A and B are shown apart, each in its own frame.
Chain A
């Protein structure tokens, strides 16, 4: 079965600094990859997804992620974080196009300091 690892439980970053959140998956073929964000008091919101094609995908709120097959990774990045980016971020994997069940990582909590 596929699995998703987010190695960093908690990251603290200064406002205006860059942010990178790591995600590694375990699956033999190319999975369908997602990043979700959960802000305090909010439901999970889809930031971006990768299905095929260009390995660098752009999402909402200025986020991007890069799929690297050789490293089985799908890391999320943002060049300059804002205080409103403080949230919990989840990486998720689907293994078939008709599969509605996603496997989620344990999440990374991002704290933004002024």
Chain B
């Protein structure tokens, strides 16, 4: 597509339920990132996928968080047994990859997750 697409745009879930967030990157972009933005805070890096390389999961806050990516396309971020502190905007970005900071990252609009 023309840009990075994320769904749903908003998600309200009950504490303890699992949620799945989806990201469709720009076609041809081999790199895909997930970030989290809590209210009043900067974006936190969660996970990075680049081509067929093993993902960098160093930013995932707990084992309740996981992410998958099929080839160089769609990615899903799954949060199991959600907690109230998981409430945040989850942002996905993609880039051409393999170029570090020289590859501009294009961001989706984000998924606003509210855990009640």
Contacts and interface: CB of A to CB of B under 8 A. Distances in A.
Interface of A: 4, 9, 32, 36, 38, 41-46, 49, 51, 90, 92, 94, 96-107
B43 interface: yes
A105 B50 contact: no
B91 interface: yes
14 contacts: A36-B107, A45-B107, A51-B102, A90-B42, A90-B43, A97-B101, A97-B102, A98-B100, A98-B101, A99-B100, A100-B31, A100-B50, A100-B103, A101-B45
Q: Provide the main secondary structure of the chain A interface.
A: loop
Which of A9, A36, A46, A102: most chain B Cβ within 10 A? A102
A100 B32 CA distance: 10
Interface residues of B, number: 30
Contacts, number: 67
Contacts of B110: 43
Interface in B32-46: 33, 35, 40-45
B39 to A, nearest CB: 10
A9 B41 CA distance: 10
A90 B100 CA distance: 19
Nearest to B40: A106
A105 B41 CA distance: 7
**Shortest 3 CB-CB contacts between residues of A and residues of B:** A43-B107, A104-B42, A44-B107
Contact of A100 (B100, B107, B108): B100
Interface in B67-116: 91, 93, 95, 97, 100-110
B41 A106 contact: yes
Interface in B1-33: 3-4, 31, 33
Given A41-B109, A44-B91, A46-B104, A102 B40 contact: no
A77 B104 CA distance: 21
B104 to A, nearest CB: 5
B100 A97 contact: yes
A9 B105 CA distance: 24
B41, B42, B101, B109: residue with the most chain A Cβ atoms closer than 10 Å: B101
A45 B106 CA distance: 7
